[in-house]
């Protein structure tokens, strides 16, 4: 394989470049994989998913996983920003305590 891809001096030949690009493109675009999955878990997922194929169930699970992880990152980012604002506003003091403000607001209603 190495001789087919590389010519003299270790440089990629034109056919070698084409083969390498095709392989990389296939790895990125196709991403086929053989998975060993718990049969009981897969059967339960198929039942909950409402039918369809195993592929549809796996794709739905992956989509849900990505959504959950994205939401976790967004929440953590929000927490960090809230901490930054709290640190910047730490030296500011209210004239009244928060409980007094809430009590006054409640009494106005």
Instruction: Give the model's pLDDT for residue 67.
Output: 94
Report whether 26 contacts 33 (CB < 8 A): no
Sole residue written with tokens 């897969």? 42
Report whether 55 contacts 61 (CB < 8 A): no
Instruction: Give the C-alpha separation, 23 to 32, whole Å.
Output: 13
Residue 8: pLDDT band with limits 50, 70, 90: low
Task: Flag whether the pTM goes above 0.75.
Answer: no
Domain map (residue ranges) of the chain? 1-32, 35-108
Report whether 6 contacts 13 (CB < 8 A): yes
pLDDT in tens, 13-62: 666 667 777 777 766 666 677 888 889 999 999 999 887 888 899 989 99
């Amino acid at each position: 394989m190495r001789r087919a891809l590389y010519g003299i001096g270790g440089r990629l030949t034109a056919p070698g470049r084409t083969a390498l690009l095709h392989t990389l493109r296939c790895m990125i675009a196709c991403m086929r994989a053989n998975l060993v999955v718990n049969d009981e878990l897969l059967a339960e997922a198929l039942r909950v998913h409402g039918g369809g194929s195993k592929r549809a169930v796996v794709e739905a699970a992956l989509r849900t996983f990505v959504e959950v992880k994205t939401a976790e990152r967004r929440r953590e980012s929000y927490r960090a920003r809230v901490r930054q604002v709290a640190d910047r506003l730490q030296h500011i003091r209210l004239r009244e305590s928060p409980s007094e403000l809430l009590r006054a607001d409640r009494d106005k209603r």
